[in-house]
A and B are shown apart, each in its own frame.
Chain A
Amino acid sequence: MKKLLPLMKKYIAFAIASPILMILEVLADIIIPYLMSRIVDIGIANRDIDYIVKIGLIMIGAAMLGILFGVLSSFAGAKAGYGFASEIRQETFKKVQTFSFANLDKFTVSSLITRLTNDCNTIGQTTMMSLRMAVRAPFMMIFALLMAFRINPSLVSVFLVSIPVLLVVLTTVMYKARPLFLEMQGRVDKVNGITQENLTGMYVVKSFNRQKHEEERFRERNDRLRDTALKAISIVIVLFPIMNLIVYGTIIAVLWFGGHQVQAGTMGGGELISFITYITQIMMALMMMSFFFMQLLRGSASVSRISEIFETESEIKEVSTPVKIVPNGNISFQDVSFVYPSSTEETLKNINLDIKSGETIGIVGSTGASKSTLVQLIPRLYDVTKGNVLVGGIDVKDYNLKDLRDQVAFVLQKNTLFSGTLRENMQWGNEAATDEEIIKALKQAQAWEFVSTYKDGLDHRVEQGGDNFSGGQKQRLSIARALLKSPKVIILDDSTSAVDMTTDAKIRRSFKEDLSDLTVIIIAQRIASIEDSDKIIVLHEGQVESFGNHETLMRESPIYKEIYESQQKGVLME
C-alpha cells in the first residue's frame, strides 16, 4: 500500500473533500430526528404552531443541505476512487513495459492480465467505498449514539446489550462464510475451466463422441458449485432475520423502559420516537461497517498483487553513456555462459562464436539444446551470466537498449499480430514506414502474394492475435514487420515452420539477393531450411558441438549427420 498511496496525489483534494462532505451529510441526517422530537415535545405540548413550522422548515433545510453535501461527496469520492484506480493502472502498465523477458517469464500472461484488469478495478471500487463507507458508518454510529445519550442517558444502556450481540453475530457469520465463499470461487473456476476446455477442444470432443462424457464431467462440477454456493448463502441468510430480531428487540426494550419514563413524565413522547430512529441508524451503520470489511479483504488481496509488480525490477540495466549506433552485423560470443533466473543449471556453457556481417547462419539441435536462449542474448533480451556478447564489435551491454533492438530484429517463435490494420501492424517495425516500404518488406517476406489479393490491401483488418491469418501467413507477416526496422541483424527463431518449403526457400533467397549486408540467423527444425547457410551451428546440451558449412558438418558432426539423414529418408532423388 505504501507504494500505491503516493499515486493518490493528483486526486488528493477530492480524497480529502469526500469524507469531510460525507460527515457534513451525516450531521444533517442525525439532527433531523432530534428536531422532530422538539416538534412533538415542545410544539405539540405548547400548541405552538409557529414553532412547529419553524422547526419543520429547519428540518427541510437540513435535509436539503444533506442532499448538497451528499451529492458533492459522491462526486469527490468517484473522482478520487477512479482517478486513483486509473493512476494505478497506468503505473502498473508502465512498469510492465519496463519488464525484461525474465520478469515476464516469472509473471504469466494471464496473471498480468488479471492484475491489470480485475485487481485495478477492485482497488478503485474499494477506495471509493472506503472514502464513503469507512467514514459514513462510524460517524453515523457515533453521532447517533451521542444524540441518543443526549436525549436519554439511561436508555443508552440498552445498547450495551444489543451492540455486542450484533457484533458477535456479524463476526461469527463472516468468519464462517468467508472460507465458504473462497471455496465457492474455486468451484466457479472449475466450472469455467471445463467450459473453456470444451470451447477450445470441441473438435476432439466431437470426434471422439465424448459429448455425454463431458456433460457428466460438467454436471459433477456444476452440482458441487451449487452445493457450495447454497452452503455459503445459507449462512449469510441467517444474518438478516437475526439483525431484525436484534433491532426490533432493542426497539421493544426501549419502548418498555422509555415508555415508563414517558408515563412518569421524565421523557417526551417525541424523544422516544426519535430514540427509535437512532436505534435504526446505529444498527444500519454497524451492518455497513461489516460489509465494508468484507470489501476491504478483497481489496487487500488486490493491493498486494499490484505491489508485487511495483516491487519487480528489470535486471537489464543500461550504462550511463550508451552507444547508439550498431556499426555492422558482426556478432561474437566470448566464453558465454547462461543460467536462467529460475534455475541453477547452466543452460549455455562456454559458447565461443564469430559471425561476420552479411553471413547467413543456421542453428540446429534437439529441443532443450537452448537454441532460442542463445539467440535471445544477441538483442539482450536476457543478460549473459558469464562472458560477453558483442554486436558490431561492441558489447551489447554498452548499447542503448532501444537502438540495439532496433538494429537487431528478432522474429519470435510465438509471434503475435495485433488488432488493427495490416499497415498499423507493419508500422510496428517503423512508425514512419511508407506504403512503398511496407510493400517492399512484404514482398521480401513473400507475404505480398496473399496481401495483394485483398481488396482493401494494407487496410485489411487484423483480428486480435492475428487469428484471421493462417499460421504460415502470420509468420511471413511477422518477418516483414521485422524487416521494416531495416536491421543489421535479423534472427528467425523457428519462424518459418508453418510456411511451405517452396515459400521458405524464396524468403531465404530474397534475403540473399536483396539484403546482402544483413546478418541472418535462422533456427530451424528442417535441415532444408538451413543447409545452404554460410555456416551452421550445431547446438547440443547448451554447447556448440560444431560450427561449419553443410559439407564440413556432414563429415565432422555425427549429430548433424543423424538429423540430416533422418529427415532425408525416402525423399532422395531417383
Chain B
Amino acid sequence: MKKDNKHKHLKPRDPKKTLIRLFGYFKYNMPLFLIGMLSIILSTVASIAVNGLLSPIIDAFVDKAELAVVIKYLVITVVLVIALSIFQYLGNLSMARLAQRTVHRIRQDMFSHMEKLSISYFDTHSHGELMSTYTNDVDMLNQSLEQSLSQVIVSIITVIGTFIMMIVLSPTLTLVVIGMLVIMMSSVSFVGKRSAKNFRRQQGALADMNGYIEEMMSGQKVVKVFNYEDRAIKDFSERNEELRQASTQASTFGVMLMPIMGNLSYVLYALVSMGGALLVLKNRMTIGNIAAFLQYTRTISRPITEVSNQLNTLFASLAGAERIFAILDETPEIDQGDVGLVTKDDNKFWQVPQENGSHELVPLRGDIVFSNVEFGYVPGQRVLKGISLFAKPGQKIAFVGSTGAGKTTITNLINRFYEINAGEILYDGIDIKSIKKFDLRSTLSIVLQDVHLFEGTIADNIRYGRLDASDEEVVEAAKLANAHYFIKNLPYGYKTVLDVDGQNLSQGERQLLSIARAAVADPTILILDEATSSVDTRTEKLISEGMDKLMKGRTTLVIAHRLSTVRDADAIMVLEDGVIIERGDHEELMKQKGRYYDLNMGTIKLD
C-alpha cells in the first residue's frame, strides 16, 4: 500500500519550473527582496571599485606623486569600504529575512495543506517519507535560500564587474584570464559530474543505512531474543562498507575542487604577474595596474569555486523543493456539502437548502441508514460489498467479525474519511455527501483503540473534544469517563503535562482520557473501537463503565472484540469479508446457531 521510494531523488526533474515557483514566494516580501538585491549589487560594485583603486594608489606611490593625490584616493577608498560594509550588512540582512519569511510561509502552507488532505492520502504515503519532506527538505531549502541566493547574485555581479575592470586595465591580460577560466570551468564540470554522481550514491547509501539502523534499533529486543546479533552485524557491515566507499569517493571529489580551483587561480596569478611584467616593460601597463589586476584574478575565481562547491547541495534542495510542491499540489479533501448545522432554542437542526432558495430545518437526531454501500480503499478491491443497515436515534449497534472483515471501514465512512463507491449513507434522512464535513464531524465522536494524545496538559487533551469547554465541564467529562480518579492522583492533576503522545500514561489511562475527550464533545453519534489488550481487568471495568455512561442517549456504533459488550446491543451485525452475514439482537442470533453462536460458544469452552 505504501510507496516504496526509499531512494529519494536528488536531482530536480524540472529545476526551472521549481525555481520560478520558489521565486514566486518573494512577491509577499517584495520590498525586502528589492532592497536586498540593490544592496548586494551596490556592495559588490563597491568592492570591485575598491580593488580597482589599488592601481592609482600604488602607482602614485611608485611614481612618487604628491601626497595630496594619494590622500584623495585613500579617502575615496575609505568611503567606499564603509559603504561596502553597510550595503553588505543591509543586503545580507534583507536576504536572510527574505529567506526566513519565505521558508516560514512555505512551512505554514505545508502544514495547513496537510490538515486539508484526505485520510486516504496518509494511508498511501509513508509517514517517514512525509516527515522527511516536512523536516529535512524544508531545512535544506532554508539553508540554500539563506546562503546560496545572495552568493549567486554576488558571484554573477562580481564576475561581470571584474571582467569590465579587467578589460579596462588590460585587454591582453583579460584574454589570458578568459583562457584560464575556460580551463577552470572545464575542471569544475569534470570533477562536478563525478562528484554529483558519487554524491547521489552516498545519499542513497546513507538513506539505506539510516533505514536499516532505524529498523534494527526498533527491533533490537527481537534481535536479542532470536540470537540474531551476528547476522545483524554482518548485514550492517555490508551497508557500512558501501557507505564508507561512497562517502569517501563523494567527499574526495567534493573536497578536491577546492585545491584544484585555488591553485589554478594561482596559476592564473602567475601568468598575470608574468604577462603583466612584460606589458609593463612595453609601457602598456603600470605596476599599480598589475596590483589591481592580481587582486581581480583572486576575486574572479572565488565565486566560481564557491558556486560549484554548492551545486550539489543546491540541486538536492531544489529536488526537495519539488517534493514540497508536490505535497502542496495534492488535491485537498473534497467538501461540496451545502447542508449546515444551526442551533435554534438550544436545539440543533440541519439546514437543508431547497430549490426555491428557502431552507428546511431538519432536527438533528442521530438516525443512520446505509443502503447498498460499496467501498474499497484501492480501486478494484472491494472491502464492503453492498452493506445495508440502519441505526435509530439512541440505538446501539455492534459490529462483530474477524480482523479485516470491514468493521472499522464502516465507521470510517460515516464521518466521510473515505468516499463510498456506490450506494448511499443517510444521516437524519440527508445524504451525508451534501452535509458540510465540518458540521458532520462535529456531531460525531470516535473513541479509537489506538489512542492518540497530544503534547500538552491532561486538561488540554480532554478539551480537544470541545475547545470552549470550561474547567468544570472538563472535570465533569473526566468523572463520566471514570478518568477523574487517576487524574486526581497524578502529581499535577489536570495540569500534568503529557509527553509526546502521552507515553507517560498507561494504555488504560490513555483510553480513559480518550473517553473523556469524546464526552466533552457531547456528540450525537458515538463510534467506539473497543480496546482489546494490555489493559488489566480493573481498568477494563472502569473503561467499560465509562463507555456505558458515555453511550447513554446517543446513537452508538461499537466495533466489538469482546462478546460481553455486545450482548445488550439493539442490533448485532456479524461481518465477514465485507458482507453482513448475520444480524439481530443477542437472543435472536443465539437461536440462529450461526457464526455468532459459534463465536459465543468458543469463548466458553474449546471444542
B270–A63 touching, CB < 8 Å: yes
Is A124 positioned at the interface, with any CB of B under 8 Å from its CB? yes
A431–B231 touching, CB < 8 Å: yes
Q: How far is the CB of A3 from chain B (nearest CB, A)?
A: 19
Which of the 9-residue segments A97-105, A166-174, A175-183, A335-343 touches chain B?
A97-105
Chain A interface residue bracket vs B:
35 or more
Is B352 positioned at the interface, with any CB of A under 8 Å from its CB? no
Asked if A240 meets B464 with Cβ closer than 8 Å, knowing A195-B131, A203-B446, the reply is no
Which of the 9-residue segments B109-117, B387-395, B473-481 touches chain A?
B109-117
Can you pick out 12 interface pairs between chain A and chain B where the beta carbons lie within 8 Å of each other?
A: A25-B263, A49-B278, A49-B281, A70-B260, A89-B240, A197-B454, A230-B96, A252-B74, A256-B74, A269-B61, A270-B287, A571-B563
B270–A32 touching, CB < 8 Å: yes
Is B211 positioned at the interface, with any CB of A under 8 Å from its CB? yes
Interface residue ranges of A185-205 to B (CB < 8 Å) = 188, 191-205
Interface residue ranges of A482-522 to B (CB < 8 Å) = 485, 494, 497-498, 500-503, 505, 508-509
B222–A191 touching, CB < 8 Å: no
- Tell me, in angstroms, the Cα distance from A365 to B467 when the chains sit together: 39
B228–A32 touching, CB < 8 Å: no
Checking A35, A242, A568 against B564 with a beta-carbon cut-off of 8 angstroms, the contacting residue is A568
- Tell me, in angstroms, the Cα distance from A255 to B51 when the chains sit together: 12
Interface residue ranges of A47-97 to B (CB < 8 Å) = 47, 49, 52-53, 55-56, 59-60, 62-64, 66-67, 69-71, 73-75, 77-79, 81-83, 85-86, 89-90, 93-94, 96-97
A101–B281 touching, CB < 8 Å: no
Is A164 positioned at the interface, with any CB of B under 8 Å from its CB? no
Is A160 positioned at the interface, with any CB of B under 8 Å from its CB? no
**Residues of chain A within 8 A of B61, CB atoms compared:** 255, 258-260, 262-263, 269, 272
Checking A210, A249, A467 against B2 with a beta-carbon cut-off of 8 angstroms, the contacting residue is A467
Is B210 positioned at the interface, with any CB of A under 8 Å from its CB? yes
What is the 8 Å Cβ interface bit string for chain B, positions 241-264, against chain A (1 contact, 0 not)? 101100111011001101110111
What is the 8 Å Cβ interface bit string for chain B, positions 212-243, against chain A (1 contact, 0 not)? 01111111111111111101110011001101
- Tell me, in angstroms, the Cα distance from A203 to B552 when the chains sit together: 24
A368–B252 touching, CB < 8 Å: no
A59–B274 touching, CB < 8 Å: yes
Checking A193, A241, A494 against B500 with a beta-carbon cut-off of 8 angstroms, the contacting residue is A193
Which of the 9-residue segments B9-17, B82-90, B157-165, B310-318 touches chain A?
B82-90
With both beta carbons as reference points, the residue of chain A lying nearest to B71 in the complex is identified as: A256
Is A330 positioned at the interface, with any CB of B under 8 Å from its CB? no
Is A464 positioned at the interface, with any CB of B under 8 Å from its CB? yes
B211–A464 touching, CB < 8 Å: yes
Asked if A59 meets B273 with Cβ closer than 8 Å, knowing A66-B263, A209-B441, the reply is yes
A566–B244 touching, CB < 8 Å: no
> Which are the 6 A-B pairs with shortest beta-carbon distances?
A70-B259, A497-B533, A56-B274, A59-B270, A366-B536, A86-B244
Q: How far is the CB of B373 from chain A (nearest CB, A)?
A: 19
A415–B115 touching, CB < 8 Å: no
Is A542 positioned at the interface, with any CB of B under 8 Å from its CB? no
Q: How far is the CB of B291 from chain A (nearest CB, A)?
A: 4
Is A412 positioned at the interface, with any CB of B under 8 Å from its CB? yes
Checking B131, B229, B251, B417 against A82 with a beta-carbon cut-off of 8 angstroms, the contacting residue is B251
- Tell me, in angstroms, the Cα distance from A402 to B229 when the chains sit together: 10
**Residues of chain A within 8 A of B58, CB atoms compared:** 255, 259, 262, 269, 272-273
Is B72 positioned at the interface, with any CB of A under 8 Å from its CB? no
Checking B78, B86, B211, B263 against A252 with a beta-carbon cut-off of 8 angstroms, the contacting residue is B78
With both beta carbons as reference points, the residue of chain B lying nearest to A192 in the complex is identified as: B135
Checking B81, B221, B264, B291 against A249 with a beta-carbon cut-off of 8 angstroms, the contacting residue is B81
**Residues of chain A within 8 A of B454, CB atoms compared:** 197, 201
Interface residues of B, CB < 8 Å — how many? 160
Q: How far is the CB of B593 from chain A (nearest CB, A)?
A: 11
- Tell me, in angstroms, the Cα distance from A9 to B441 when the chains sit together: 64
Chain A binding surface, main DSSP class: helix
A191–B107 touching, CB < 8 Å: yes
**Residues of chain A within 8 A of B534, CB atoms compared:** 367, 413, 494, 497, 525
B100–A229 touching, CB < 8 Å: yes
Is A392 positioned at the interface, with any CB of B under 8 Å from its CB? no
Which of the 9-residue segments A109-117, A148-156, A434-442 touches chain B?
A109-117
Is B364 positioned at the interface, with any CB of A under 8 Å from its CB? no
B130–A199 touching, CB < 8 Å: yes
Is B173 positioned at the interface, with any CB of A under 8 Å from its CB? no
B277–A52 touching, CB < 8 Å: yes
A113–B81 touching, CB < 8 Å: no
- Tell me, in angstroms, the Cα distance from A60 to B270 when the chains sit together: 6
Is A329 positioned at the interface, with any CB of B under 8 Å from its CB? no
A562–B108 touching, CB < 8 Å: no
With both beta carbons as reference points, the residue of chain A lying nearest to B286 in the complex is identified as: A269
- Tell me, in angstroms, the Cα distance from A431 to B226 when the chains sit together: 11
B294–A277 touching, CB < 8 Å: yes
**Residues of chain A within 8 A of B62, CB atoms compared:** 262, 269
With both beta carbons as reference points, the residue of chain A lying nearest to B101 in the complex is identified as: A226
Is A29 positioned at the interface, with any CB of B under 8 Å from its CB? yes
B500–A197 touching, CB < 8 Å: yes
With both beta carbons as reference points, the residue of chain A lying nearest to B125 in the complex is identified as: A199
B220–A197 touching, CB < 8 Å: no
Is B21 positioned at the interface, with any CB of A under 8 Å from its CB? no
Checking B84, B295, B598 against A502 with a beta-carbon cut-off of 8 angstroms, the contacting residue is B598
Interface residue ranges of B190-207 to A (CB < 8 Å) = 206
With both beta carbons as reference points, the residue of chain A lying nearest to B73 in the complex is identified as: A255
Interface residue ranges of B544-589 to A (CB < 8 Å) = 561-565, 567-568
Is A13 positioned at the interface, with any CB of B under 8 Å from its CB? no
With both beta carbons as reference points, the residue of chain A lying nearest to B116 in the complex is identified as: A211
- Tell me, in angstroms, the Cα distance from A110 to B100 when the chains sit together: 29
With both beta carbons as reference points, the residue of chain B lying nearest to A509 in the complex is identified as: B606
- Tell me, in angstroms, the Cα distance from A205 to B467 when the chains sit together: 13
Is B119 positioned at the interface, with any CB of A under 8 Å from its CB? yes
Is A311 positioned at the interface, with any CB of B under 8 Å from its CB? no
**Residues of chain A within 8 A of B488, CB atoms compared:** none
Is A390 positioned at the interface, with any CB of B under 8 Å from its CB? no
Is B402 positioned at the interface, with any CB of A under 8 Å from its CB? yes
Is B122 positioned at the interface, with any CB of A under 8 Å from its CB? yes
B221–A104 touching, CB < 8 Å: yes
**Residues of chain B within 8 A of A237, CB atoms compared:** 89, 92-93, 96
Asked if A468 meets B2 with Cβ closer than 8 Å, knowing A223-B104, A368-B536, the reply is yes
Q: How far is the CB of A154 from chain B (nearest CB, A)?
A: 16
A201–B452 touching, CB < 8 Å: yes
Interface centre among A49, A199, A214 (most CB of B within 10 A): A199
Q: How far is the CB of B571 from chain A (nearest CB, A)?
A: 16
B274–A204 touching, CB < 8 Å: no
Asked if A230 meets B537 with Cβ closer than 8 Å, knowing A40-B273, A192-B134, A196-B131, the reply is no
Interface residue ranges of B590-607 to A (CB < 8 Å) = 590, 598-604, 606-607
**Residues of chain A within 8 A of B243, CB atoms compared:** 86
B501–A197 touching, CB < 8 Å: yes
Is A406 positioned at the interface, with any CB of B under 8 Å from its CB? yes
Asked if A202 meets B287 with Cβ closer than 8 Å, knowing A222-B111, A470-B404, the reply is no
Asked if A71 meets B233 with Cβ closer than 8 Å, knowing A200-B501, A528-B603, the reply is no
**Residues of chain B within 8 A of A43, CB atoms compared:** 277
B564–A567 touching, CB < 8 Å: yes
**Residues of chain B within 8 A of A67, CB atoms compared:** 259-260, 263-264
**Residues of chain B within 8 A of A78, CB atoms compared:** 247-249, 251-252, 255
Interface residue ranges of A557-571 to B (CB < 8 Å) = 562-563, 566-571
A47–B281 touching, CB < 8 Å: yes
- Tell me, in angstroms, the Cα distance from A391 to B239 when the chains sit together: 38
**Residues of chain B within 8 A of A199, CB atoms compared:** 114, 122, 127, 130-131, 134
Q: How far is the CB of A505 from chain B (nearest CB, A)?
A: 5
With both beta carbons as reference points, the residue of chain B lying nearest to A94 in the complex is identified as: B233
Is A463 positioned at the interface, with any CB of B under 8 Å from its CB? yes
Is B77 positioned at the interface, with any CB of A under 8 Å from its CB? yes
**Residues of chain B within 8 A of A112, CB atoms compared:** 217, 220
**Residues of chain B within 8 A of A55, CB atoms compared:** 274
B604–A471 touching, CB < 8 Å: no
**Residues of chain B within 8 A of A205, CB atoms compared:** 115
